[in-house]
Amino acid sequence: MWQRIQTLYMLLAAAALVFIGMQGLGNTESMIGGLAVALFLANITYFKHRKRQFMINRLAMFAVLGLIGSIAIPMLRSNSYDASLTPTLVASLLALGLGSFANRAIQKDEAKVKSDRRFRK
């Protein structure tokens, strides 16, 4: 479980988002961030089911996209707020990149397993 690189990517993605979830319970961003953290951390346990791991990781990435949207849309709509990179937005973008790296590693792992099965028959 811990020796696969996708586990490290998902753990780092969850670590990048964990501080967003600590802002408060009623905050929309913290709820979406907490959902993404829970999905990334729960997904680490599905190391034997790569297709399920890929789909849950994709769901976590959609949650991160929702988080980015909930941060960026009000920022772009208001004229008084300057459009600078907030730490929450940077952490969300980092988690999105790490999630895509994890998906790529899951696909590579699945390809290795398929090629090994082909050679064994």
Tens digits of pLDDT across the chain (121 residues):
566 889 999 999 999 988 776 665 567 888 888 899 999 999 999 888 889 999 999 999 999 999 888 888 887 787 656 667 778 888 899 999 999 999 999 999 888 888 877 766 5
Structure tokens at 82: 């300057």
Structure tokens at 53: 């791991």
Structure tokens at 103: 């998906």
Structure tokens at 95: 């988690």
Tell me the C-alpha distance between 51 and 55, whole Å: 6
Nearest to 99 by CA among 66, 75, 74, 70: 66
Nearest to 63 by CA among 106, 117, 26, 20: 20
